[in-house]
């Protein structure tokens, strides 16, 4: 359909962003996500007509995770859910274990996350997030809810107070899958000292000061390595 026409002009954007200089660096995170989203919507719209053969997020046997979630949402497809289970359960369990849960506790948390995936499949919006992002936020929120009794403060996307995102020009569309491929490659090629601290920031319940204390590194070093890692990954969203 219009997919090719929409994705090709995407390359013109990063050069413009690079030229814009320092002021744009902050905006880069937001911008790259908006761009990534635009293409995801495009992908979702044509899902009914053709299988997304270039999907990055796939099971070991090549089935698109987004299409599986969609099948669960539309048809309560148990077979699709089984495939999601096989792919996601070991990863969510690994995430819970990385955060300090014992094997059995991690398995229990991961089972609850899988049930939430079944229940909330309708709420997965490929225009807003990749499947792994969506599952990550569900697992993260489940963990917080288990740890704390109080309500978890969260943004309500339907809040009338919400200041909406600025509308995106049609030509600022880049290829979603390519962005996700670049992100994953960037994670794999992070310098080890950056990768380690980034993992600690995500997977250990510690402030940067606590990470500094645990690693015997100066706080400034911890902050700058995490910042460098994030900047590098942020750049990977863009086609540079």
Partner 1 sequence: MSTRHPDDEILLAYAAGTASHGTALLVATHITYCPLCRGKLQAMEQVGGALMEALEPAAVSAGARDRVMALLDGDPRLGTSDSRPPVTAVTGRTVLPRALREAAGSDADGLAWQPVLSGVDQVLIGKAVPGGERTRLMRIRAGRAVPRHTHRGSEMVCVIAGGFRDVLGHYGPGDVAVADDAVDHQPVADDDRDCICLAVTEAPVRLTGRFWRWLNPFVQF
- Whole-number minimum distance, CB 137 to partner 1, in Å? 6
Q: Which of residues 10-29 bind partner 1 (CB under 8 A)?
A: 26-27, 29
Is 43 a binding residue for partner 1 by CB under 8 A? The answer is no
| Number of shown-chain residues binding partner 1 (CB under 8 A) | 92
Is 169 a binding residue for partner 1 by CB under 8 A? The answer is no
| Greatest alpha-carbon span in the chain | 56
DSSP 113-172: HHHHHHHHGGG--TTT--HHHHHHHHHHHHHHHHH-SSPPP---TT-TT--PPPPPPTT-
Is 69 a binding residue for partner 1 by CB under 8 A? The answer is no
Contact flags string 71-90 toward partner 1, x per CB under 8 A: -----x-x--xx--xx--xx
DSSP 72-94: HHHH--HHHHHHHHHHHHHHHHH
Pick from 48, 164, 192, 216: which binds partner 1 (CB under 8 A)?
164
Q: Phi-psi bin for 113: left (phi > 0), alpha (psi -120 to 50), beta?
A: alpha
Strands (E), the chain: none
Structure tokens at 48: 């009914």
Where does this chain touch partner 1 (CB under 8 A) — which range of 7-15, 17-25, 40-48, 225-233? 225-233
Is 120 a binding residue for partner 1 by CB under 8 A? The answer is yes
Pick from 2, 46, 102, 137: which binds partner 1 (CB under 8 A)?
137
Is 172 a binding residue for partner 1 by CB under 8 A? The answer is no
Pick from 130, 173, 174, 197: which binds partner 1 (CB under 8 A)?
130
* Nearer Cβ to partner 1 (11/152): 152
CA–CA separation, 237 vs 239, rounded Å? 7
Residue 100 neighbours by CB under 8 Å, 6+ apart: 204, 205
What is the sign of the dihedral through the CA atoms of 132, 234, 128 and 164? positive
Where does this chain touch partner 1 (CB under 8 A) — which range of 1-9, 11-19, 47-55, 229-237? 229-237
Q: Which of residues 183-222 bind partner 1 (CB under 8 A)?
A: 183-184, 187-188, 198-199, 201-208
* Nearer Cβ to partner 1 (1/30): 30
CA–CA separation, 2 vs 24, rounded Å? 30
Going by C-alpha positions, the residue among 206, 172, 184 that lies closest to residue 33 is 172
Contact flags string 93-112 toward partner 1, x per CB under 8 A: xxx-xx----x--xx--xx-
Is 159 a binding residue for partner 1 by CB under 8 A? The answer is yes
Is 92 a binding residue for partner 1 by CB under 8 A? The answer is yes
Q: Which DSSP letter does residue 64 get?
A: B
């Amino acid at each position: 359909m219009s997919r090719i026409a929409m994705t090709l002009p995407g390359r013109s954007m990063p050069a413009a962003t690079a030229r814009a200089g320092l002021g744009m660096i902050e905006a880069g995170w937001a911008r790259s996500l908006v761009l990534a989203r635009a293409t995801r919507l495009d992908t979702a719209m044509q899902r009914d007509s053709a299988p997304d053969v270039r999907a990055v997020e796939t099971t070991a046997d090549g089935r698109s995770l987004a299409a599986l979630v969609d099948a669960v949402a539309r048809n309560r497809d148990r077979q699709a859910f089984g495939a999601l289970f096989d792919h996601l359960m070991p990863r969510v369990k690994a995430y819970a274990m990385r955060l300090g849960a014992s094997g059995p506790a991690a398995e229990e948390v991961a089972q609850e996350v899988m049930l939430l995936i079944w229940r909330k499949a309708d709420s997965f919006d490929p225009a807003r997030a990749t499947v792994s992002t969506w599952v990550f936020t569900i697992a993260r929120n489940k963990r917080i809810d288990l740890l704390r009794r109080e309500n978890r403060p969260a943004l309500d996307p339907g809040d009338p107070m919400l200041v909406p995102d600025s509308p995106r020009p049609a030509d600022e569309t880049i290829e979603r899958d390519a962005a996700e491929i670049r992100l994953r490659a960037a994670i794999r090629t992070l310098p080890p000292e950056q990768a380690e601290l980034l993992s600690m920031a995500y997977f250990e319940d510690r402030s940067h000061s606590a990470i500094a204390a645990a690693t015997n590194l100066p706080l400034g070093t911890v902050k700058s390595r995490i910042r460098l890692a994030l900047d590098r990954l942020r750049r990977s969203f863009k086609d540079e």
